[in-house]
Amino acid sequence: MILTIASKELKLLFVSPLAWTFLALIQLMLTWVFLGQLDAFLELQSQLMQIANPPGATEVIIVPVFAVASLVLLVATPLLTMRLMAEEWRNHTMTLLISAPISLTAIVLGKFLGLMIFFLLAMLLAVMLSLSLLIGGAMDLGLLLSNMIGLSLLAACFISIGLYISSLTSHPAIAAVGTLGILLVLWIADVVATNTSSVIQNFSLLRHYESFNRGLIDSFSLAFLVLFILTFLILTIRRLDGKRLHG
């Protein structure tokens, strides 16, 4: 049932011009950053060879590409998650869905998985750009894998919070604004905290992603991101359960 709901969500996404626009924009932006970094690397390559342990093509080119991808996902997620639940409430189809012999967990996970697959397709564009470096030489596949894991977890965090906010309202626009506001607050949490050991910084999703972006799979960041995802998925299930019990 989870796969059925995920498949339905994925089909709804691909009949929407918003999804195709998002894919086109992310491809355009990532390609632009990739070519810019590649040009800079080729210009500096002779100078880099003169220093000890110079950064390779993966560090100079791929790391910035994935950093930009994380920001694009942050901005795009509210637009893609706003209708997941809110539109169901607005069209009065959610009442039928939660009354059907389907577990609430399956409904939430199905909608989550549908958008997650879409985001993974978008990330595939960044991976294909990265792997094109193999044509000209070697690359750090470990660093690429770390970025793929980190960006996948970050996207899952964005989706889980967008899904929860969308379950709170029947107005997609309010869901989008609410999700974007929370994501921006979580983003700048480490900027407003001047003390590097501040507890506030621990709530910044992008701060945790930075570890993966540098090629470090930090167990604390990994646990934080996984718990973040689970927390908002459980909150969404409890929200639907409350609506089913109390109407």
- Tell me, what's the pLDDT at 190? 65
**Does 176 or 187 have the greater pLDDT score?**
176
Q: Which residues of 131-162 are buried (b: 16+ CB within 10 A; e: fewer)?
A: eebeeeeebbeebbebbbebbbbbbbbbbbbb
- Tell me, what's the pLDDT at 234? 95
- Tell me, what's the pLDDT at 196? 56
**Does 45 or 123 have the greater pLDDT score?**
123
Helix (H, G, I), strand (E, B) or coil at 26: helix
Helix spans in 132-218 (H):
141-167, 172-192, 205-213
pLDDT tens by residue, 20-37: 888 888 889 999 999 998
- Tell me, what's the pLDDT at 119? 92
- 59 in Cβ contact with 139 (< 8 Å): no
- Tell me, what's the pLDDT at 162? 94
State the average pLDDT over residues 101-129: 90
State the average pLDDT over residues 115-142: 86
- Tell me, what's the pLDDT at 86? 85
Residue 53 region, left (φ>0) first, then alpha (ψ -120 to 50), else beta?
left
In the chain, DSSP finds a helix count (H) and a strand count (E) of: 10, 0
pLDDT tens by residue, 177-206: 999 999 888 887 766 665 555 667 777 888
Best-predicted range by mean pLDDT (13-17, 95-99, 103-107, 232-236): 232-236
pLDDT tens by residue, 59-113: 888 899 999 999 999 988 999 898 888 888 888 888 778 777 888 899 999 999 9
pLDDT tens by residue, 206-220: 888 888 988 888 899
Q: What tokens does 167 get?
A: 């379950």
Mean pLDDT of the chain: 86
pLDDT of 154 above 90: yes
- Tell me, what's the pLDDT at 155? 94
* Distance from C-alpha of 50 to C-alpha of 183, rounded to nearest angstrom: 42
Name the band, by pLDDT with cuts 50, 70 and 90, for residue 227: very high
Name the band, by pLDDT with cuts 50, 70 and 90, for residue 41: confident
- Tell me, what's the pLDDT at 198? 65
Best-predicted range by mean pLDDT (10-14, 137-141, 154-158): 154-158
Q: What percent of the chain has pLDDT over 70?
A: 94
Angle between helix 172-192 and helix 141-167 axes, rounded to 10 deg: 130
